[in-house]
Amino acid sequence: MVIEYWNLRFVCYLVLGICTFRHKNPRQSHLALTKPIEDPVMRGRPGFQWKVKPRSDLVYNKEHYSSDWRDFQRKLKREERRKAFLKKLPVVALYSGSCLLVLFFVFYAGSRLLGYLSQAGYSTSHTKKTPGVISEKTSEQDLSFELKDLNLDHLSLSDHFFVQRGGARLTVQSSLDTDLQDYILSLLKRSRTIQAAVVVLSPTDGRILAMANYEKGGKGNDLCTKAVYPAASLFKIVSAAAALETAGFTPDRAVIFTGGKHTLYKSQLKKKAGRYATKTSFREAFGSSINCVFGKMGIYDLGRSVISEYADRFLFNRLISFDFPVEQSTVNVPDDDYGLAEIASGFNRETLISPLHAALLSSAVANNGTMMAPRLIERVFNESGTLLYQSRPGMLGSPISRGTAKDLKVLMRNTILNGTCRRTFRSLRRNRAFRDVELGAKTGTINDKSDKFKYDWFTAYAIPRDGAKDLSIAVLSIHGEKLGIRASELGMHIIKYYITM
């Protein structure tokens, strides 16, 4: 009975201790049994002699560990946010810069547009306020007659200038790009040539973008509209067009020549190929300006009538409509074989052309066979702001078909890639800005009759893929005893400046 009593008492104590410990530390109740503590009351008594007592040295500090863990997590999140921000910083900077650039462009374009609209609004409102005045419409012929004595040099030409007509002062707005005009003038002054002339126009609408000339000694003569310069190999454009359309030529057609590329002896004009003949393609003959190939073509494939017809199509022996008088380019096609060879190859001094006409030759190729009328004057206002004249794009003709123009582009492109302009345009072809720009050119060189001067020609086109800044250009450089900057190099710098500015 005694043993049962003490056993019952021990069980009650044990249950009471366990319940008390679970109530105070529910998470560490399993630790209470890891170290039993001796009960002095039960010592020496039979039966179970140990009493469980909770350990005080293993108390779990919930607040301490929870606080440290939260701080660590916050620190991790802050570090992640900082790294993410640093990673996105370049993108944010680039996006912000692009937005600023777009805003600047919009602001600039908007200011220019508002200025133009305000000027147009001024003219319209001023006309409405004077209903009793009838605006006099000036025709193109009258306008050309009044402006024919204007000196075409850098002192006279600008984007706007003034002329006198019947005692009244007229304001003339032109199509000139003043930045391009100033650049060309400065370039010609450093060209070390005796005379030089440059004409730049838009092949799609005929607007004159620049018209500049230079003469050593500063005489100030107009060179751009004078047709007193031998056309040289520029006439090969006309001969090639005639061969493509009437004689079945293609850019890849095989041709044969004997002797040098830039000579024209009668022995080189034999139809039968000699023992030492060289075989090449028509595109290579055009790009390298091989005279005897075009000489034989003029004799055996074209003839006098075809050469005369295509010279007329390209406005030789015809007047060119322009705001200023332009001298007539001339060609006289003879009957004899050697004369035909000279004309077809450009190896003569009798075929004369003006720099303006030379620019029109390449513009017809660039504009898919259509030659647009050149125009410099866009608007004319009287003193009260009334619009007297407004120019419109006009067409001089279509000397060649679209397909022929496409083949001529292949020939003129070969001048840039493998022909006479290969070295000059090498750096331009490697320029990233010209990867999407179609280039084509033709050069020509010949001495005068006294061999004192060298006429150096370059005519070309540049057509960007978007068509925004297309141009046709003609450059004439006249060298004396010392050779100055070649016309092709001047043209290359002008094209590069206009496309990239």
The per-residue pLDDT for 34 is 43
The per-residue pLDDT for 33 is 42
Angle at 194 between CA 455 and CA 214, to 5 degrees: 100
Examine the pLDDT at 66 and tell me if it is beyond 60.
Answer: no
Q: Picking from 52-56, 125-129, 177-181, 198-202, which range would have the lowest pLDDT averaged per residue?
A: 125-129
φ, ψ of residue 371 in degrees (nearest 5): -100, 115
The per-residue pLDDT for 273 is 81
Give the helix/strand (H/E) hosting 487.
helix 487-500
Per-residue pLDDT reduced to its tens digit, 280-295: 999 999 999 999 999 9
Examine the pLDDT at 2 and tell me if it is beyond 80.
Answer: no
CB count in 10 Å sphere of residue 388: 18
Q: How far apart are CA 323 and CA 392, in angstroms?
A: 12
Enter the tokens of residue 322: 């322009």
**Mean pLDDT computed over every residue of the chain:** 82
CATH 3.40.710.10 holds for 178-500 = yes
Alpha-carbon distances of 390 from 170, 201, 211, 365, 489, rounded to whole Å: 13, 18, 20, 27, 36
Q: Do residues 455 and 446 lie in contact, with contact meaning Cβ atoms separated by under 8 Å? A: yes
Using 50, 70 and 90 to split pLDDT, how confident is the model at 58?
very low
The per-residue pLDDT for 103 is 75
Examine the pLDDT at 43 and tell me if it is beyond 60.
Answer: no
Q: What is the mean pLDDT of residues 292-301?
A: 97
Higher pLDDT, 14 or 19: 14
Tell me 375's DSSP state.
B
The per-residue pLDDT for 77 is 83
Q: What is the mean pLDDT of residues 383-406?
A: 92
Q: What is the mean pLDDT of residues 144-154?
A: 44
**Which among 451, 490, 485 is positioned nearest to 474, based on CA atoms?**
490
Q: How far apart are CA 48 and CA 43, in angstroms?
A: 9
Q: How far apart are CA 68 and CA 428, in angstroms?
A: 67
Examine the pLDDT at 258 and tell me if it is beyond 50.
Answer: yes
Indicate the pTM of the whole model. Answer: 0.71
The per-residue pLDDT for 166 is 72
Using 50, 70 and 90 to split pLDDT, how confident is the model at 122?
very low
The per-residue pLDDT for 100 is 79
Examine the pLDDT at 107 and tell me if it is beyond 90.
Answer: no
- Are β-strands 454-464 and 437-447 bridged in parallel, bridged antiparallel, or unpaired? antiparallel
End-to-end, the C-alpha distance of the chain in Å comes to 118
- Percentage of the chain beyond pLDDT 90 is 56
Examine the pLDDT at 383 and tell me if it is beyond 90.
Answer: no
The per-residue pLDDT for 168 is 80
Q: Residues of CATH 3.40.710.10 domain(s) within the chain? A: 178-500
Q: What is the mean pLDDT of residues 105-123?
A: 50
CB count in 10 Å sphere of residue 493: 16
Cα R_g (the chain), whole angstroms: 45
Examine the pLDDT at 390 and tell me if it is beyond 50.
Answer: yes
Bridge partners, residue 455, by sequence: 446, 478
The per-residue pLDDT for 324 is 85
Enter the tokens of residue 492: 């290359």
- DSSP for 205-249 reads T-BEEEEEEEETT------TT---EE-GGGGHHHHHHHHHHHS--
Higher pLDDT, 172 or 123: 172
The per-residue pLDDT for 12 is 67
Enter the tokens of residue 32: 């209470």
Per-residue pLDDT reduced to its tens digit, 357-381: 999 999 999 999 999 999 998 988 8
Using 50, 70 and 90 to split pLDDT, how confident is the model at 439?
very high
The per-residue pLDDT for 278 is 93
Per-residue pLDDT reduced to its tens digit, 207-246: 999 999 999 877 667 899 999 999 999 999 999 999 999 9
Examine the pLDDT at 321 and tell me if it is beyond 60.
Answer: yes
Bridge partners, residue 459, by sequence: 442, 474
